[in-house]
């Protein structure tokens, strides 16, 4: 599996407008075409974009990720629009020119938290659904749904835009031909999920032009690395909870992977979802854009003080190895029995 774009735009293209400029669509297609041609015989699965939301909102909305642009109400939607169109064009390029030769698959990876209502009130349930549509649906609905943005998103952004004096919605519109090309432009869907949110309805009086204010809801949970909504079904701790957890005896990470893969099993067995695979983040400690080397997320510990960057498997690496070897859960071989075997 190869990702074509993981937030690494060449500076020369950024200087020409980057993802703000629709010319990027053809540039990305040309780049994808070269990759398909050169590596297609060895790559069965292609991901066009990793976490398109991050590129759009964190990179161009609030600007805490590269390229550091702060345009939270207009540019953020323009960037997302160009990313969707870039994915769609690259997908059709593969289907038309490389599918018969390489028999590969092309998809996109989107990130989403579990969005749960803060209360059982109807307005909070609607707000939680709206939060999903404004994030997962923003990119997912054009490709995996109707070919267009979610109706609730078009309505909310359109109404806010009119009240702010815009003659048209700040959310760009797809042409009918673009909708036709968008719809079904995928072979698989990649989902990145790390934590959970609690959502409540909140009609934001703030008149600032801002993607977050467009949604009329509040996130009422800590959105940092630890699992944030304990009442939700996918909430587990991703971060560490003791001094040794940064080292090699990382039990909380073991439970994290165990719980997440168990939820995947439920999705397959109970919900009938067509789940083709699960990948762990991350193989080794790495650089995170806003926290540097502070977050230790790897199955392997990296000594960044060592010029050789020596790597040591954590206990979670052994657990994950066994999980893959067993292809799931074996009766009588839970986390506790695994830990006893390591003593």
CATH of the domain at 180: 3.20.20.80
Q: Give the chain's mean pLDDT.
A: 91
pLDDT above 60 (res 174): yes
Counting the structural domains of the chain, the total is: 2
Are residues 334 and 198 located together in one domain of the fold? no
CA distance linking residue 273 with residue 265, whole number of Å: 9
- Dihedral (CA of 49, 39, 24, 152) sign: negative
Name the CA radius of gyration of the chain, rounded.
21
pLDDT above 60 (res 164): yes
pLDDT above 50 (res 196): yes
Are residues 185 and 125 located together in one domain of the fold? yes
- Residues listed for the chain: 343
CA distance linking residue 129 with residue 262, whole number of Å: 24
Look at residue 237 in the predicted model and tell me its pLDDT.
36
Mean pLDDT for 279-306 is 94
Are residues 259 and 223 located together in one domain of the fold? no
CA distance linking residue 255 with residue 341, whole number of Å: 16
Q: Which of 205, 235, 265 is the last residue of a domain?
A: 235
Asked if residue 207 lies in contact with residue 114, where contact means CB atoms within 8 angstroms, the answer is: no
Look at residue 157 in the predicted model and tell me its pLDDT.
98
297's CB contacts (< 8 A; 6+ apart) are 238, 281, 282, 285, 286, 288
- Dihedral (CA of 330, 335, 337, 343) sign: positive
Percent of the chain at pLDDT > 70 equals: 92
The DSSP secondary-structure symbol of 58 reads I
pLDDT in tens, 213-265: 999 999 976 544 444 333 233 333 333 334 444 568 999 999 999 999 999 99
- Look up the domain containing 27 and give its range: 1-235
CA distance linking residue 2 with residue 59, whole number of Å: 22
Q: How far is CA 101 from CA 37, 49, 93, 185, in A?
A: 10, 23, 13, 19
Q: List 201's β-bridge partners, or say none.
A: 217
Q: Is the peptide bond before 214 cis (omega within 30 degrees of 0)?
A: no
pLDDT in tens, 90-119: 999 999 999 999 999 999 999 999 999 999
- Is the pLDDT higher at 248 or at 84? 84
Q: Write out the catalytic residue numbers.
A: 51, 245
Q: Which backbone phi and psi does 114 adopt, to 5 degrees?
A: -70, 120
Mean pLDDT for 148-175 is 98
Token pair belonging to 30: 């040309």
Are residues 169 and 221 located together in one domain of the fold? yes
Are residues 147 and 294 located together in one domain of the fold? no
pLDDT above 60 (res 8): yes
pLDDT above 70 (res 10): yes
Mean pLDDT for 7-28 is 98
Token pair belonging to 8: 């690494």
């Amino acid at each position: 599996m190869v990702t074509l774009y993981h937030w690494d735009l060449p500076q020369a293209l950024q200087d020409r407008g980057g993802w703000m400029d629709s010319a990027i669509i053809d540039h990305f297609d040309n780049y994808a075409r070269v990759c398909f041609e050169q590596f297609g015989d060895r790559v069965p699965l292609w991901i066009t974009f990793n976490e398109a939301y991050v590129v759009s909102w964190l990179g161009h909305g609030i600007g805490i990720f590269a390229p550091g642009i702060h345009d939270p109400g207009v540019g953020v939607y323009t960037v997302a629009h160009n990313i969707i169109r870039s994915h769609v064009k690259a997908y059709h390029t593969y289907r038309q020119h490389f599918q018969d030769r390489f028999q590969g698959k092309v998809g996109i990876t989107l990130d989403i938290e579990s969005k749960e209502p803060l209360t059982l009130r109807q307005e909070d349930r609607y707000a939680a659904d709206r939060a999903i549509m404004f994030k997962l649906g923003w990119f997912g609905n054009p490709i995996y749904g109707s070919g267009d943005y979610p109706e609730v998103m078009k309505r909310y952004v359109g109404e806010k835009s009119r009240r702010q004096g815009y003659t048209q919605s700040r959310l760009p519109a797809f042409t009918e031909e673009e909708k036709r090309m968008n719809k079904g432009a995928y072979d698989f869907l990649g989902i990145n999920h790390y934590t959970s949110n609690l959502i409540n309805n909140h009609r934001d009086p703030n008149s600032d032009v801002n993607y977050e204010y467009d949604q009329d809801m509040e996130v009422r949970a800590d959105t940092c690395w630890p699992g944030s909504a304990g009442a939700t079904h996918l909430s587990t701790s991703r971060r560490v909870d003791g001094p040794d957890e940064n080292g090699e005896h990382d039990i909380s990470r073991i439970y994290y992977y165990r719980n997440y893969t168990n939820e995947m099993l439920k999705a397959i067995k109970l919900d009938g979802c067509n789940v083709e695979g699960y990948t762990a983040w991350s193989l080794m400690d790495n650089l995170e854009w806003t926290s540097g080397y502070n977050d230790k997320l790897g199955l392997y510990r990296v000594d960044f003080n060592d010029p050789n960057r020596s790597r040591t498997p954590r206990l979670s690496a052994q657990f994950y190895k066994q999980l893959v070897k067993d292809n799931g859960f074996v009766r009588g071989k839970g986390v506790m029995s695994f830990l006893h075997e390591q003593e």
